Amino acid sequence: MKTLLYLTILAAAVLVSPALAQSDMYCHKTDEYTDVCKFSDGRVHVQTNIDDKSWSEWYSAAQWQAKKAKDAREAKIQAKKHVVWQVKTDQFEALAAKIAYQSGCESAGYIWVWSSNMASAGCHYSEAAMRIHDKAAQ
């Protein structure tokens, strides 16, 4: 009798408790590895599966909003860095295109590319080649 009363009270608590109550859920894939499930009460579950490894994280509504804001700030910073990198790369590529001979190209720290398509053959900028050239010059 005591056990039955205990189970009845526990079942009633489960039914009325918002923490244990079921809520609507919407799931979507953010990439080929990650599923994000959002619950109507604001909680979010992120599941990542790569090969035989799996990660799972739960966020409250406030934690999820903070994470999304942080991710958006980081993405904005990365986008600005990419624009700066692209401008620098374009400038170096333009300088490299002016060099007509392999020896001059390589001595300036660029890379000489041979190609069956003569339009793309010639001197080109390579970040890796420039790093090697700069290190050798020191």
The tens place of each residue's pLDDT in the chain, 138 residues long, gives 544 434 455 554 444 445 555 578 999 999 999 999 999 999 999 999 999 999 999 999 999 999 999 999 999 999 999 999 999 999 988 888 888 888 888 888 888 888 776 666 788 888 888 888 788 877
d(CA 24, CA 70): 26
Phi then psi for 94, rounded to 5 degrees? -65, -40
Residues 44, 92, single domain; the answer is no
Residues 95, 50, single domain; the answer is no
Residues 84, 50, single domain; the answer is no
Quote the number of domains for the chain: 2
Is the full-model pTM beyond 0.85? no
* pLDDT for res 16: 47
State which amino acid sits at residue 123. Answer: C
* pLDDT for res 58: 95
- Residue 86 belongs to domain spanning: 76-138
Please check whether residue 69 lies inside any domain of the structure. no
